Structure 1
């Protein structure tokens, strides 16, 4: 046997997370639950070994006393130009994230906020198109109730069309409803959600083009949330829109009270990732019947990797970190090397 074959292979910690194994507490609450309950606490962590510090070993400790990081300062100094009209595609890689991602981006559009450092334009009115039963209006309006919404928040309206949940906005039935609304000029922004089996077919690509053309011609921003089911890796969705945003699931921290945790990336800003621009992690929570979002610079979709990064920023050495998380110092070292490479803009997997 050749010598190289006898070498013991080290485990590959950079392999993607199996999101199907995430805790099943991330779900859309019913209309009654929106005002009657808070999200349930998370289950215990799912590491290979239980951290010696308990599940709280992954949790955020007190904030460091250090000043704002250079990456955040650079992000604040680099202004991005908002997309004002045309087609904005939002690729949602996990269907259960759609209600929260859509509510978040619609809220940012109403308040001239930003998503992963992509600023939303100043819009007089946002109109959301949904399909299915009229009962859906209650849940949709509940998800539109965000904490600390400014008084200057623009008008937001919701309309439910069609009688089936899988209403197809990229076919004649959907375009017959949406295109006239875009051409009417009554709304400065129209949002829709579409389940799409990838890669994109010719008919769907032509529908994207018609929405982009109508938006450009009439000065309307069309935001289409595309729920990806199959074939995402070869979909090239960014080629069919004026702007593209990608949303993926993140492993939540143990004992965290968030309802949904996900990353939002703007591939067009990939060259600015070294400055902390273009990809953020969002945690969505429900507080007293109102939704809140916490945005932090994206570190990793793994809760363990984020814990390693936080302990390192607080000045911890590798041995104490390994002891707290119940892992080896070699694993801590490899994790830090991976995270440093990602901060320098190298496209390593999480």
Structure 2
């Protein structure tokens, strides 16, 4: 949605080098009843979809890699609330939630997970490689950090065409240590490209904690040497994400160049379905669930403000579960792609 212009935020200095052009984090947005309900419904759809995907994986309907987004729903939901028509999104392999946020069909996403012809990539891409030019979603990428250069390229195209669109380029704390990320930072800053680098810091790169893999653990400062400002955001609060998203999109549309948003978030499940997550305690996960769950925060606010009753919220949950159940049934019963599809969409 379009937003009113705001006063430019004050810059703050880095704790590490005193030279970072970081911006002050804006206050969490004040949601209307309609915005709270919309955020609740969208995050719940992602949660229920991922739960069903995990179930189908365990039953053998989904093969290969499968990375679930459970716990991180507020990030894509809040960011989507600041987009306008034509804004692009690109991400890594934990991509189901991003696709649903960009309003791709749950049937199409689930069918791609099960390798059926009704999938978004005709059953050939699987969990990590889905794409929709119509919805401005450019993947789904299995190579760690590779999408960052592509997202920067999307921003270059926007600058070349002189439009007001912004590229939302997502990657994780692990990918933040990849070399091509810094090549992209340099290019984006040099040419003032309209790209928001969104670092989803869920604390663990596979099974390696941030403190064990990164010399600089404050990812909002990662663009300092390229003069890219950053903001640290509570990625478990959809209001904080929306507020940061509005600031960032306005910054980019005004021609100021790139911006980094470090989303401090948390995944409840393992890195992938094959990860038992023994590198962290059950108590740690439960503490995040009980004290910081993004969906529960919205649910509590809706009830406290009497914007919704328990029965109304249960009805929303049932509606969402029905959508997911329909997608799962379609994905299990749809036909597999014809072998001739192996030769289509191939670029040599």
Above 0.5 in TM-score? no
Q: TM-score if structure 2 supplies the norm length?
A: 0.32
